[in-house]
């Protein structure tokens, strides 16, 4: 449980993230998703409950956004050089297809480029667990699917456990093994196919036929606007868990 003053922001939450699995936490704004991540990362103390991490666990964290002062002379290469490396920079850049960005100022990165650079920073520490807080938030519609496909490929290649936070299950269906629907407490949990049929999920996000229409309309609108501008396998070992 987590309480801010007299307000309980999280309670009755139980999460286990295993190696090689993608666990997605979804929920509306104010559901406590970022607070949950902060508790798991040790940045916020829980008022009650227990957080257990595997001994020696290495965590790679990708935040929602990163503000860089516009006057700071910081290229991608210098930014990545600020963190200790367990993997070679060149190898990670090639894996994420961003070698061409090395000399580009951080302030001039697009949303998708920024997320890949932040992901590269997390991967340099050779993590056992990747924690991503709404990684597609600042990425355009066309790049969101690519980003989640990339995350899934990294999991398959390296066996990372992945804890992913999103406000929308519809965006991450194909990249997720297990879903936790959160609204200050766990509303429902299971596979994406199971969760999207639960009454608690439907009450928060609507039915599948409704969001398909919204997604199709959004895609058509995006394409219209765009055209105006341009004529190992790993053992099932738990990485960590939280109970409380």
* Poorest-pLDDT segment among 37-46, 118-127, 134-143, 157-166: 134-143
Q: What is the pTM of this model?
A: 0.80
Q: Mapping DSSP to helix (H, G, I), strand (E, B) and coil, where does residue 162 land?
A: strand
Q: Write the pLDDT tens digit of every residue in 55-84.
A: 899 999 998 888 888 888 899 999 999 888
Rg (CA), the chain: 19
Every domain of the chain and the residues it spans: 18-230
> Which superfamily does 18-230 belong to?
P-loop containing nucleotide triphosphate hydrolases (3.40.50.300)
Task: Give the helix, strand, coil percentages of the chain, each rounded to 5.
Answer: 40, 20, 40
List beta partners, residue 147: none
153 close to 83: Cβ distance less than 8 angstroms: no
pLDDT band at 135 (very low <50, low <70, confident <90, very high): confident
Q: Write the pLDDT tens digit of every residue in 76-106.
A: 999 999 888 888 889 999 999 999 999 999 9
List beta partners, residue 105: 75
Tokens of 224: 């219209």
Q: Write the pLDDT tens digit of every residue in 187-212.
A: 999 999 999 999 999 988 887 645 45
């Amino acid at each position: 449980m987590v309480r801010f003053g007299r307000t309980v922001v999280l309670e009755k939450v139980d999460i286990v993230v295993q190696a090689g699995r993608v666990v997605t936490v979804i929920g509306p704004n104010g559901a406590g998703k970022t607070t949950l991540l902060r508790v798991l990362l040790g940045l916020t103390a829980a008022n009650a409950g227990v957080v257990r991490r595997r001994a020696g666990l290495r965590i790679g964290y990708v935040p929602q956004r990163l503000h860089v002062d516009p006057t700071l002379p910081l290229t991608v290469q210098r930014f990545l050089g600020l963190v200790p490396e367990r993997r070679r920079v060149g190898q990670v850049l090639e894996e994420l297809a961003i070698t061409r960005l090395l000399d580009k100022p951080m302030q001039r990165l697009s949303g998708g480029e920024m997320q890949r650079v932040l992901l590269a920073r997390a991967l340099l520490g050779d993590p056992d667990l990747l924690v991503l807080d709404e990684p597609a938030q600042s990425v355009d519609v066309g790049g969101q699917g690519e980003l989640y496909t990339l995350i899934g490929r990294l999991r398959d290649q390296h066996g990372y456990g992945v804890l992913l936070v999103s406000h929308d299950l519809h965006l991450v269906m194909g990249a997720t093994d297990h879903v936790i629907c959160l609204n200050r407490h766990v509303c429902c949990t299971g596979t994406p196919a199971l969760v999207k049929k639960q009454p608690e999920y439907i009450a928060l996000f609507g039915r599948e036929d409704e969001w398909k229409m919204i997604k199709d309309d959004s895609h058509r609108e995006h394409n219209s606007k765009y055209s105006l501008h341009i004529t190992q396998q790993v053992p099932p070992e738990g990485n960590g868990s939280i109970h409380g």
